[in-house]
Structure 1
Amino acid sequence: MSEVVSFRPRRVRFVAIPAAAGLIALFVVIAVLLRNTPTGAYFEVSDQIAMAMVGVLLACGVLLLTRPRVRAQAEWIEVRNLLGSTRYAWSDIRGLSFPDGSAWARLELPADEYISIMAVQSADGPRAVTAMRTLRALYKDATATV
């Protein structure tokens, strides 16, 4: 059994985590100020709590962007994007690519299908290059022994 390599996006975390904290803070402030409106509408504590919870839900949505990960070893590659995770044997993969102008790398599958690898993002620059070189080396080694 070989060592498992793992890659996650970096730059998106530097943006998403402060944005999520800012959303929560903004909606908590709105919830606190909601009670005193000059419109004549009357808001109760439950309305204030609901407003704060909207901020929490929006923050959770933003934090989903930090979830992608790719893990690989000599026998398989596992891609976790926003909502799901799938493991593929290297023998099921036709190649790895990073098309020009694309935001993410991708796994080329049979029948002209592909899966985006959101963990390897062009915004990460040299880290994405390192990740692709590592993944391509694993793919090359796995397909050479078949």
Structure 2
Amino acid sequence: MSAPVTFRPRRVRFVAVPVAFGLVAVFVVIAILLRNTPTGAYFEVSDQIAMAMVGVFLACGVLLLTRPRVRAQEEWIEVRNLLGATRYAWSEVRGLSFPDGAAWARLDLPADEYVSIMAVQAADGARAVTAMRALRSLYKDATNYREATTQPHA
């Protein structure tokens, strides 16, 4: 059997983390300068804090893009996208695909349903190919094992 695997997107982290820090920095600078603007409006300390917090919330939203992960082992695959994670037994999976032009791989389920695997992104190039090969190997091993144990022995 194959070893357990875990994959996360790489390229999105190289972009999202600096953007998040940049957003916080810009909004903190705006918050500091807010009381010194000659607009005629009077800003309180609470307005400055709120402006800085807007930057923090926007940064958190950008950092959500770094959350996706896929973990798989002999019995199951777990897909964690932006907001939630779901574990599927390999017996529930009908295949793994990466359609042409798609941004992410997907887990094919019964009844023509699928789940995007945002951790395996086309932008990661060779890493995405490696991830798909490893996941397909686990899927194939699980399928072969299931078929071998369900067939009657002669």
Range class of TM-score, shorter chain: over 0.9
Q: 1:27-66 residue pairs with structure 2 within 5 A? A: 27-66=27-66
Unmatched segments (≥5 aa) in structure 1? none
Q: 1:1-146 residue pairs with structure 2 within 5 A? A: 3-146=3-146
How far apart, in 1, do the equivalents of 2:55 and 2:47 lie?
13
Deviations 1:113-133 (A, max 9, x none): 000000000000000000000
How far apart, in 2, do the equivalents of 1:129 and 1:5 lie?
14
How far apart, in 2, do the equivalents of 1:125 and 1:12 lie?
12
SS of corresponding position for 1:14: helix
Give the TM-score normalised by structure 2: 0.93
Contact 2:2 2:73 (C-alpha < 8 Å) held by counterparts: yes
How far apart, in 1, do the equivalents of 2:73 and 2:91 lie?
13
1:109 shift after superposition: 0.3
**Aligned-pair Cα RMSD in Å:** 1.0
Give the TM-score normalised by structure 1: 0.98
How far apart, in 2, do the equivalents of 1:88 and 1:57 lie?
32
Unmatched segments (≥5 aa) in structure 2? 147-154
Higher Cα Rg: structure 1 or 2? 2
Deviations 1:95-125 (A, max 9, x none): 0000000000000000000000000000000
How far apart, in 2, do the equivalents of 1:2 and 1:78 lie?
16
1:37 shift after superposition: 1.3
1:39 shift after superposition: 1.2
How far apart, in 1, do the equivalents of 2:123 and 2:97 lie?
16
One-letter code aligned to 1:72: A
SS of corresponding position for 2:115: strand
One-letter code aligned to 1:52: A
How far apart, in 2, do the equivalents of 1:145 and 1:54 lie?
52
Paired residues, what number?
A: 146
- Of all paired residues, the percent bearing the same amino acid is 84
SS of corresponding position for 2:47: helix
One-letter code aligned to 2:35: R
Contact 2:2 2:141 (C-alpha < 8 Å) held by counterparts: no
How far apart, in 1, do the equivalents of 2:39 and 2:59 lie?
28
